[in-house]
């Protein structure tokens, strides 16, 4: 399998951490790529019509995209694993947390993409609306943070990647000040080798 990736992408990071935690990383060749909403990458678009990363090229040449789909696909290679749970309440908890963290990241990327615009075309109300979504997602994460505990599943991994991205691109937000329980959890979780090896660059 080949994973088209960019080292700064939090969605790529989530997929790669899932691969590392499942021990599937050795079966995946990583190919550096680029993605931009305004400068289409023809090679990437030939594999993924949305032109987004991550994109996975399977051994038979077919492609998968959408980081949640890729995590599901990797999980399906090792039935019964706990990283991508497929049954019971642990499945819904992991999927919900992944959706929450991915939504936070979608809002964060929209804020970043707003900065691509010429200054006179930027719209503060739009940016404020996306920032409000980030804060609301953080509130929800903090509300349930005690439940994160020792969990290492696609939901807690997604939350870790979202927090790591805020540290990387939104340090001024100082999310730890508002989220003490999450902050304590993240301090320990971020020590995992899968996290330290995938620091955004
Ligand atoms: N929902 C997608 C989001 C992926 C995404 O937005 N990736 C960014 C890089 S972090 C990208 O490719 N952006 C290029 C674009 O929006 O055209 C997923 O979960 O994979």
For residue 23, how far is its CA from the centre of ligand 1 (angstroms)?
A: 24
Average pLDDT over residues 13-41: 97
99: left (phi over 0), alpha (psi -120 to 50) or beta: alpha
Q: How far apart are CA 103 and CA 109, in angstroms?
A: 10
Average pLDDT over residues 131-154: 97
Any residues with Cβ below 6 Å from ligand 1, and which?
9, 11, 35-37, 51-54, 66-68, 102, 109
56 near 65, Cβ under 8 Å? yes
Q: How far apart are CA 131 and CA 166, in angstroms?
A: 11
Q: Is the pLDDT reported for residue 198 higher than 90?
A: yes
For residue 11, how far is its CA from the centre of ligand 1 (angstroms)?
A: 7
Percent of the chain with pLDDT over 70: 100
Average pLDDT over residues 5-15: 98
173 near 134, Cβ under 8 Å? yes
Average pLDDT over residues 47-64: 97
Average pLDDT over residues 99-127: 96
Which helix H or strand E contains 124, and what residues bound it?
Answer: helix 124-143
Ligand 1: which residue has its CA nearest to atom 12?
Answer: 52
Ligand 1: which residue has its CA nearest to atom 2?
Answer: 66
What pLDDT sits at residue 165?
Answer: 98
Q: How far apart are CA 2 and CA 61, in angstroms?
A: 9
Nearest atom, ligand 1, residue 52 CA: 12
For residue 67, how far is its CA from the centre of ligand 1 (angstroms)?
A: 9
For residue 124, how far is its CA from the centre of ligand 1 (angstroms)?
A: 22
Instruction: Report the candidate in 160, 6, 179 with the shortest Cα–Cα distance to residue 83.
Output: 160
**Is the Cα torsion angle 189, 195, 200, 201 positive or negative in sign?**
positive
Q: Is the pLDDT reported for residue 22 higher than 90?
A: yes
* Entry pTM: 0.97
- pLDDT, tens digit, for every residue of 62-102? 999 999 999 999 999 999 999 999 999 999 999 999 999 99
- pLDDT, tens digit, for every residue of 156-181? 999 999 999 999 999 999 999 999 99
Distances (CA, A) of 99 to 24, 43, 58, 71: 23, 28, 24, 12
Q: Is the pLDDT reported for residue 201 higher than 90?
A: no
Average pLDDT over residues 17-43: 97
The 3-state DSSP class for residue 95 equals helix
Q: How far apart are CA 71 and CA 182, in angstroms?
A: 23
28 near 19, Cβ under 8 Å? yes
The per-residue pLDDT of the chain, averaged, comes to: 97
Average pLDDT over residues 111-139: 96
Nearest atom, ligand 1, residue 9 CA: 10
Residue tagged 């920032």 (tokens): 131
Q: How confident is the model at residue 28 (pLDDT cuts 50, 70, 90)?
A: very high
């Amino acid at each position: 399998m080949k994973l088209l990736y960019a080292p700064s992408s939090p969605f790529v990071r989530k997929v790669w951490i899932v691969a590392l935690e499942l021990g599937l990383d050795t079966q995946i060749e990583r190919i550096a790529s680029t993605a931009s909403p305004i400068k289409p990458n023809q090679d990437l678009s030939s594999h993924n019509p949305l032109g987004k990363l991550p994109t996975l090229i399977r051994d038979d040449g077919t492609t998968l995209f959408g980081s949640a789909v890729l995590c599901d696909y990797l999980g399906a290679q090792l039935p019964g694993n706990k990283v991508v749970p497929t049954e019971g309440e642990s499945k819904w908890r992991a999927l919900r947390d992944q959706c929450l963290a991915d939504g936070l990241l979608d809002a964060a990327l929209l804020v970043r993409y707003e900065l691509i615009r010429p200054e006179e075309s930027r719209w503060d109300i739009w940016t404020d609306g996306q920032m409000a979504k980030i804060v609301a997602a953080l509130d929800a994460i903090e509300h349930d943070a005690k439940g994160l505990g020792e969990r290492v599943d696609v939901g807690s991994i997604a939350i870790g990647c979202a927090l790591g991205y805020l540290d990387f691109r939104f340090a001024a937000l100082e999310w730890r000040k508002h989220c003490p329980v999450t902050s304590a959890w993240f301090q320990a979780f971020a020590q995992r080798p899968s996290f330290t090896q995938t620091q955004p660059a």
